[in-house]
Amino acid sequence: MLLTVKIILLFSIFGVSTLVGYLISNRYSSRVKELQDLITSLELFETRINYTYDTIPECFQYIAKYIEGSVGNIFRRTAEILEDENNLSAGDCFKNIIDEERYLLNLKDVDVETIKGLSVSLGQIDLDSQIKNIRLIIHTLNNCLDQAEEEKKKNFKLYRNMGVLTGLVLMIVLI
């Protein structure tokens, strides 16, 4: 009976350690995916304001339809608030939503600050300047994406394997 409990506890420790390693490693994959979604969202936004002359809430609703997850949620929530409240500027609303959602994202602070750069000029400047600002942010996010992909290559397997190995070491030590 005691041996059975010990074996169950050892495998539980191994399982938890492995799970922690997988969760940490998946943050790297999630960051790459979210940066790709942000870049796609901004490209859609640029196209919509450039060719359709939609309002910002309409553009954001369109983006939210095609981009899923936390990134799409940012645009959906911003559009909903902009449609409901007229006293808040689009930039302030976008910045507030990003601040609220940042803990659900797997982005680094530099990524979040880059996307917040869109809020500075959102709806405040002429169309050409807005498009230039969007392109600048896309370019910066592409640089962040390159870094994120490098970090993923370097750290994904490391943390995944470290979780498994830590579990095995703990099992051996506790035997």
pLDDT at residue 1, as a whole number? 79
Q: Is residue 60 part of a domain?
A: yes
Q: Is residue 78 part of a domain?
A: yes
Is the pLDDT at 19 greater than 90? The verdict is yes
Mean pLDDT of 109-137: 83
Q: How many CB atoms lie within 10 A of CB 163?
A: 21
Q: Is residue 20 part of a domain?
A: no
Residue 51 and residue 43 in contact, taking contact as beta carbons nearer than 8 Å: no
Mean pLDDT of 30-39: 93
Is the pLDDT at 175 greater than 80? The verdict is no
Domain containing residue 139: 31-148
Q: Is residue 86 part of a domain?
A: yes
Number of domains within the chain: 1
pLDDT at residue 36, as a whole number? 94
Distance of CA 35 to the CA centre of its chain: 6
| Integer-rounded Cα radius of gyration of the chain | 21
Question: What would the pLDDT profile of 49-71 be if each residue is shown by its tens digit?
Answer: 888 878 888 888 999 999 988 89
Q: Is residue 132 part of a domain?
A: yes
Average pLDDT of the chain, as a whole number: 88
Q: Is residue 85 part of a domain?
A: yes
Q: Is residue 24 part of a domain?
A: no
Tell me the backbone φ, ψ of residue 86, rounded to 5 degrees: -95, -10
Q: Is residue 88 part of a domain?
A: yes
pLDDT at residue 41, as a whole number? 93
